[in-house]
Structure formats: structure tokens, C-alpha cells
A and B are shown apart, each in its own frame.
Chain A
């Protein structure tokens, strides 16, 4: 007599080390039917036919995360904190250093972000002192992507001062160089790492500048070029490592290359309280990258699929608005130009003028409150796209359908780590309690986001955002819009601008709003012109 109990605990499921992990389980549907496929389900998972295809990819990603946390990393830190309710915190020392005990499932950025990068197929920089596991983490990602360990290790590009473009990309075949009548006759022996979907550049700031430019082409445009021959690379997740990314490498990293890095992860120090575990691992000769369970290794199509699922994650409008509001704070520089559109930090930079000098001319505003004064630059479109992608990846990883504000708050500091340059002379950093943000860039960016959200709430923009209302009106389309309605909307825009011009201080968010209003005004103006023309034609 066989007894099949719905939802019964299966002794074999305990056996699967990977699924033991406290991932983020969803309530299980009670099993209602006899199923012959159950015959081959149980103790051993089948890595060849996708028996675990029923395991969602986000769950697989979490299983990979928890396997690394539990089996590969000896002293993980839970620095990405989530709270499900009230949480406790304690303060220590004269500096009132705060330790929080999160009440929700929290994560280690050093493990989580490289994993998200694998699924998002972007470019991740691992920074930190020697021996902190940066390269080991990158290698783990290569193995998780389905490559043999030896192939991953051989594909690592080790930055060194003598590295040439040929070392990086490949060589023309010597015999062809001698006999070729044209460039087309020269065959290129491309380096194998270019074909891989996980690319690892170790100590990238030790690569000579000229070779960095060749690397930039591969990173930015996904192709390599030698002697007019082009090799198209597959979509890949990149991992770059650096001991010191603040200019301490052998060569200065070219800005364009640095700008292509999407997310920065810090390898934190080894907690000496875990020395016993380290000793046991040394004695046992355990190398985590050699023993990754098959169940958590992704196929190429699984990574592709996970990537599509990440893109399908929904960012609700109120959350998107807060990201917009935050991002609007930084580009504006009131004294950079005469015309509104050019009042940006980029204008100052292109003019070759010291930003501090120009910024000092901005008077009449609360210099402590103005978040724009804390940075030397604004956010590029690439940065914004990366924020949105990684926020979606975070939502996906947490098994949620929609992004929440905490996802954004946790991701933004790592994406903007090298993108948002602090202005050390800003009054903000001199304010008591804020000095620490001169060295703590993660904490500073998170603080910026908190300040931005507080300002957003103070302005009550969730409920009263006239620009959003005007946006919603135009998104319905102009086709068939009566002339009087178009004129009424023009008047509404003009009234709003008039109202704001009376005594309202000009901050970054207002700057973006008034430019958006100008855009809307132009759309209606052009529409009215067309309407009048078509009436004349009619």
C-alpha cells in the first residue's frame, strides 16, 4: 500500500543541501493528484534533463546565494538590511557606532551583488585589500555560469604593466602576416576568454592605458577589433577586481572604462572570530569552487531566461517617482549658465572651470539642505538604467512581484559608488555627525537617498504632484484634443510656472520640473500650430 501525503516531508528533500537553505519559500499548494512522474523525484536531483525545471530561477538564484553564504564564504556580513517589523539597534563607543539587528532576511552585498550581476549580465567591480576573496568570488560566478573550473581560471585576464592588446585580444597568425595581400587575408587567433559569458579581469587598474582602451571596446560595445577584423562577443557578466580603485593601481583607469562599471562591491575584512573555521578549511583542503552543487549551476538559457524575468519585474509609479526625485538633485548648477537648460555641472566641467568656485556663487539657498551641492557631478543615463536594472534584479531575487522602496534604498549606493563623486568642500560634510561620510561612500549615498525621500515626503509629492498630473494628461495623447482644452492646459502650465517663480528657491528637482513643464508647453504649442494649420487647410 503506497501512501502519498500532500505536502509530506520527504526525507530526501533534507538530503538536498542546497534546498535546505532558508531561501524565500512560497506557500506550497497541496498535492491533489497521483502523478507517475513522482517515481523519479526524491533523493537525487537530476542535473541533465532539467528535472528541477519546476524550481523557479529566482529560487535557484537564492539557493546559489545561500550555498555560497553557508558553504563558501567563511565570515559573511549582512550589510544589506531588510526589516519586516520593529528591529533592535545598539550604539557603541564614543562615536555612537550603531549596530542594527535586522528583523527581515538580510543579505551580504559581497555575495548577493555579484550574483545579481551574473543574472543581469552587467559589469561588477570587486574592490578591497589583497586576499579578501575578490578573485575567488569572481571564479565562483564563472563556475555557477556552467563553466569548468579550469576554463574559468584560464580565462582570467590578469592585469599587469606589460599587458599588450595582443595579450588581451589575440594575435594575427604569423604565417598570414608574411603572405597576406590584404588585411582580409590575415586570420586572427582570438583569445578564448572573449567567447565566455563570464569575463574576469583581475587587477584591472594594473593594465596599461593603451590596453585599457582595447578593453573598453570589448566592455562597452561587446566586440574586439584587431587589424580590421572584428570579433563579436556574447552577452556576458563582467567581474573586475582592484585592490585600490582610488588611483592606487599601476595605471590610472581611464574615465570611460570606469564609467562602464555598473556596480561596485567591497570585499570586507576577515572577521578573526572565524579563524577556527578557516583553520578547519585549510586542514581539510576544501576549495568551494571545486565542489559547487550541480543544482545551483545555471545553463546559458537559464541565465538568459532569468535576465528576461528580471526585466519583466514591475517598478510601481510611486517608487519610480522617488527615483526620479532623487536623481534630479545632482546635475543642476544654478550659476553654470544663463539659459536654464545649460545650468548643469556638466557645463562647468566642459568649461574647465573649478566646480567649487562656481558652486560658491550659488547664494540664497540653504547650502546644507541642497543635496546637489554634495556632489561634483550628476547622474548619467547609463547610471539611471543600471539603477533600474539592479533594483529589478533585487526584487526578482527576493521573490517579489513589485519593487519596494527598500530595494531601491539598498541597491542605489552600490550602483552609484563610483558614479556620484562627492564634493568634499560641501557644508554637508562639515556638519557635525556627517564627517564620517567623507570616507563612507556607501553610507553617504544611502543617506542622500534618505534625505531625498524625506524631502519628497515633505513636499507631499505622492499626493500633490502637479507635473505628474500634466504628464498623465499628455500621455493620453493629443489626437482629437479640442483646441480650447489644449489652450487650457497651456494656461495651467504657465500658471504653475508663474507660481513657482515667485520666491521659490531653485533646487535640482524644481529645475527638472520646470524643464519638463517647458517640454509640455512646447508639445501643446506645436499641437495648436498644427491644429490651426489643418483648420486652414480644411
Chain B
């Protein structure tokens, strides 16, 4: 067993020293359960991650530092036992930035806040379009807009959507209507001060147009709207994508359904990212509907009402589907789904 108290200074060292037998027993138990537990990694983690967080809490809410250290010690032991910090370094970075950066939130609800931040960072880091570092920055900003942990974590859901978790879109938009406007602004990473009505206008526009990016919309001159390639999703499984063969797309029950010879997925995509949810069936249900809002011909010419644009890379499209705002197209020689929108 390692004597961790000698490796670090500050409040963490003091607390470890005062509860030495208990912390040693916890470590021994963890080592018992996980013989591969890396002693040095744990000591380093305490010194480089937990100690600065403890110092931050000590400076702001000294009466809670012991409880915070206790929580972080337990969670750290578990995560290091599973090598999670090593495989997902963004979690440790997020601890220092967010837990250390928001000591009052952490002190108010140590376990809940740490657990939520850790899980969110993990989910963002394992999502291909998730941007964990951006989420941390937004959350730190949002933390200054509210002292309430519950409100901040709700804002975190909006921020997660903003940071690439497209499948949270519907619920995030609902939460936008519930939270205080200044918190919504922070969660959406909108810089500059907006009135409540302006915030509502932004949210309404995002509801209408999944490809609208609020920051760009409010802070830079509006782009000229035209049909453009909004996103590309999927990819060949051999290169880390989803599909074993070039997929096809259809539209059913309000969702894009993308399928190859093996699997069938539901696709959710917007300006912030894209997400696939595996469906149980191998092919879309026969009730799949076709929207007439968009069309694409064999030369790659896309039409939407009076608007048209040429996308030579989409020539020979094998399938296409539309949800009214977005056209999803597949082609014979690509494992991706191409998303066209008038935006």
C-alpha cells in the first residue's frame, strides 16, 4: 500500500492524514478487488487532480472540503481501478477545470456534481461528434450565471447538445424554454447580452431550422441562405464508422432511417452534430414515407421548391429522403449519408 499523504501538500494532505486508516483501508479494499490498481497512477492523480480541486474548495467553502475530498477519493479509486482516467484523459482535465473552477457548486452537492460531470465528460468523449473540452468551457461560463447545481446541470444538457450530442436536441430545446434566459445564453455559448425576447427568438429559430447556429446568427452578418451541404454522417466500419456496405436512407415516423446489409439506424443530425440509434429491425418498416419537399436527380441536382443547386458528388444517388428541412442522400461509392439543407 502506498502512503499517499507524503506526496502532496495543502488541504488534501491534511485530510488524508487525519483519516489515514480509513483512506488506507479504502485503498486496500480497492486493491483487493482490483489487483491491477496502479498505485503510482493513483498517487499522481491525487496530487495533480484532486489536490488542486481541494485547494479551490478550501479557498471558497472550507467547511465542505473534507466531504469533497472524501467523495473525490472514492470516485477516483473506482475510476483508476478501471483505468478510466488513463483511457479518457478528458475526465481528469474536466475535473480540474470544472470541479476546481466551480468550487461552490461542487461543495453544494459533491457526489451529485462530480458524478454528473464525470459521466457527461465520458459520454461526450466517447461520442464521435461530442466536444468535451467545449462543454467544460461552456459549463464554467454557465456556472457564473447560476449558483444552483440543478439548474446548472439542466443547462449542461443544452450545452451537451450544443457540443455535438445532436440526439439531445428535442429535450434541450424544451429545457431552453424553462431555464432563465441568461443561463440559456450561456449554455448555447451565445456571447453578448440578449434580452429575454431575443433569447426566445433564437430558440424559436433553432426549433424551425436545425442548421441554424445561434452564435453565428446573432454575432456575425447573416449568411445568404442557399442549398448547401450541411453535414456528412456515418462512414465505413473499417475506418471506425457504422456501415459495412454503402447505406440507403428513408424517412419514417419523423426520423431518418439509415440501413446497410446488416443493420438499421435512426439518424438525428443538426448544426451541432449527428447521432445514430440502432433500430431493432434490419430494414425500415414498409410504412416509410417520402417527403416531396426535396428531390435529387442522377446528376446530383438538388431541388427544393424554387431553389436548386448542383452537388456533383451526389450524382448517381442510390436513395434520398427528407424531413422537410433536410435532405439525406446516399450514393453507391460512399459509406456516408450526405445532408443537404437550405440554410
State whether the Cβ of A287 lies closer than 8 Å to any Cβ in chain B: yes
Number of A residues whose C-beta is below 8 Å from B?
42
Question: By DSSP majority rule, is chain B's interface helix, strand, loop, or mixed?
Answer: helix
Smallest Cβ-Cβ distance to B280: which chain A residue: A30
Which residues B224-276 have CB closer than 8 A to chain A? 233-235, 241-242, 268, 273-276
| Residue from B31, B157, B161 in contact with A284 in the complex, judged by beta carbons closer than 8 Å | B31
In the docked arrangement, what's the CA distance between A437 and B153, Å? 62
* Separation of A77 and B16 alpha carbons in the complex (Å): 37
Q: Is the CB of B116 within 8 A of A15?
A: no
Q: Are A39 and B157 in contact (CB under 8 A)?
A: yes
Among listed A40-48, A107-115, A262-270, interface-contacting one? A40-48
The answer to whether B123 has its CB under 8 Å from any CB of chain A is yes
- Indicate if the CB atoms of B114 and A44 lie closer than 8 Å: yes
Judge if A38 is at the interface, Cβ distance under 8 Å: yes
Query: Which residues of chain B are near A285, meaning CB under 8 Å?
Result: 21, 24-25, 28
A279 surroundings in chain B (CB, below 8 A): none
Please give me the residue from chain A that is nearest to B130 by CB atom: A2
**Who on chain A is nearest to B127 by CB?**
A2
Among the 9-residue stretches B43-51, B166-174, B179-187, the one with 4 or more Cβ atoms under 8 Å from chain A is B166-174
- For A32, A44, A47, A294, the residue with the greatest tally of chain B CB atoms inside 10 Å of its CB is A44
Using CB atoms, name the residue of chain B closest to A35: B171
Q: Is A71 an interface residue (CB 8 A)?
A: yes
Check A11 for interface membership: any CB of B closer than 8 A.
yes
With beta carbons under 8 angstroms apart, the residue of B28, B79, B112, B275 that contacts A286 is: B28
Determine the chain A residues whose CB is within 8 A of the CB of B164 once the complex forms. Answer: 2
Give every chain B residue within 8 A of A40 (Cβ-Cβ).
Answer: 115-116, 119-120, 153, 156
How many residues of chain B are within 8 Å of chain A by beta carbon? 60
Contacts of A280 in B (CB 8 A): 32
A43 touches B122 (CB 8 A): yes
Return chain B residues, CB-CB under 8 Å to A14.
82
Partner of B275, one of A4, A43, A281: A4
Question: Would you list which residues of chain A between 175 and 207 have a CB under 8 Å from chain B?
Answer: none
Q: Which residues of A contact B1 (CB under 8 A)?
A: 284
- A261 vs B1: C-alpha distance when bound (angstroms): 44
B191 within 8 A of A: no
Tell whether, in the assembled complex, residue A1 and residue B120 are in contact, meaning their CB atoms are under 8 Å apart. no
Are A15's CB and B28's CB within 8 A?
Answer: no
- The reply to whether B78 and A34 contact each other, CB–CB distance below 8 Å, is no
Interface string of A1-41 (1 = CB under 8 A from B): 11111100001101111000000000000101111101111
Partner of B278, one of A4, A17, A51: A4
Cα-based distance from A39 to B242 in the complex (angstroms) = 22
Contacts of B274 on A, CB cut-off 8 Å?
1-2
Instruction: Please state if A2 and B112 are interface contacts (CB–CB under 8 Å).
Output: no
Known: A3-B128, A34-B167, A290-B22. A45 touches B115 (CB 8 A): yes
Shortest CB distance A37–B (Å) = 8
Are B167 and A39 neighbours in the complex by a CB distance under 8 Å?
Answer: no
User: A1: nearest residue on chain B (CB-CB)?
Assistant: B128
Compute how far the CA of A40 lies from the CA of B168 in the bound complex, rounded to whole angstroms.
12
Do the beta carbons of B129 and A2 come within 8 Å of each other? yes
User: Which chain B residues border A39 with CB–CB below 8 Å?
Assistant: 119-120, 123, 156-157, 160, 165, 168
Count of A-B residue pairs with CB < 8 Å: 152
A484: Cβ under 8 A from any B Cβ: no
Q: In chain B between 1 and 52, which residues have their CB closer than 8 angstroms to a CB of chain A?
A: 1, 21-22, 24-26, 28-29, 31-33
Q: Which B residues are CB-close (under 8 A) to A286? A: 25, 28-29, 32
Q: Which of B28, B31, B276 has the most CB of A within 10 A?
A: B28
Whether B194 sits at the interface, judged by CB under 8 Å, is no
In this complex, the member of A33, A34, A51, A284 whose beta carbon has the largest number of chain B beta carbons within 10 angstroms is A34
Q: Are B84 and A11 in contact (CB under 8 A)?
A: yes
B residues near A287, Cβ cutoff 8 Å: 25
Decide if A46 touches B111 in the complex (CB within 8 Å). Answer: yes
Asked if A291 is at the interface (CB within 8 A of a chain B CB), the reply is yes
B25 and A4 form a contact (CB under 8 A): no
Does residue B277 face the partner (Cβ distance < 8 Å to A)?
A: yes
B322 interfacial contact with A, CB 8 Å: no
User: Of the candidates A4, A5, A48, which one forms a contact with B167 in the assembled complex, judged by CB atoms under 8 Å apart?
Assistant: A4
A36 to B119, CA, bound (A): 12
Tell me, rounded to whole Å, the shortest Cβ–Cβ distance linking A108 to chain B.
19
Q: Are B160 and A3 in contact (CB under 8 A)?
A: no
**Residues of chain B lying within 8 A (CB to CB) of residue A30:** 280
Asked, given contacts A2-B129, A51-B115, whether A42 binds B123 with beta carbons under 8 Å apart, the answer is: yes
- Per the bound structure, the CA–CA distance linking A46 and B120 in Å amounts to 13
* Contact yes or no, B160 A43, CB < 8 A: no
Task: Assess whether B168 is in contact with A36, with CB atoms less than 8 Å apart.
Answer: yes
Residue in contact with B276 in the complex, picked from A4, A17, A284, CB distance below 8 Å: A4
The answer to whether B326 has its CB under 8 Å from any CB of chain A is no
Residue of B nearest to A4 (CB): B277
Q: A49 near B: Cβ within 8 Å? A: yes
Q: Which residues of B contact A290 (CB under 8 A)?
A: 22, 25-26
A15 to chain B: which residues have CB within 8 Å?
Answer: 78-79, 81-82, 84
Contact A2 B116 (CB under 8 A): no
Give the distance in Å from the alpha carbon of A30 to the alpha carbon of B264 in the complex: 14
Point out which of B1, B24, B32 has the most chain A C-beta atoms below 10 A from its C-beta: B32
Within the complex, what minimum Cβ distance (angstroms) separates B71 from chain A? 9
Q: Which residues of B lie under 8 Å from residue A71 when comparing CB positions?
A: 29, 32-33
B213 in the interface, Cβ–Cβ < 8 Å? no
Q: How far is the CB of B111 from chain A (nearest CB, A)?
A: 5
Give 1 or 0 for each of B52-91: 1 = CB within 8 Å of chain A CB. 0000000000000000000000110011011010000000
Whether, in the assembled complex, B330 has its beta carbon less than 8 Å from a beta carbon of chain A, the answer is no
What's the Cα separation between A280 and B84 when bound, in Å? Answer: 27
- Are A44 and B29 touching (Cβ within 8 A)? no
**Inter-chain contact A2/B120, CB cutoff 8 Å:** no
- Decide: A1 and B127 in contact? CB cutoff 8 A: yes
Contact B277 A36 (CB under 8 A): no
Which residues of B have CB within 8 Å of A44? 75, 78-79, 111, 114-115, 118-119
Task: Using known A-B contacts A3-B242, A284-B31, A285-B24, determine if residue A42 contacts B119 with beta carbons closer than 8 Å.
Answer: yes
The yes or no answer to B109 lying at the interface (CB within 8 A) is: yes
Chain B contacts for A291, CB-based, 8 A: 25-26, 29
Q: Please name 9 pairs of A and B residues whose Cβ atoms are closer than 8 Å in the assembled complex, sorted by A.
A: A4-B167, A15-B79, A34-B170, A43-B115, A44-B75, A44-B118, A48-B112, A280-B32, A284-B25
| Extra A-B contacts (4), CB below 8 Å, given A44-B119, A51-B115, A285-B21 | A3-B128, A4-B276, A42-B123, A71-B32
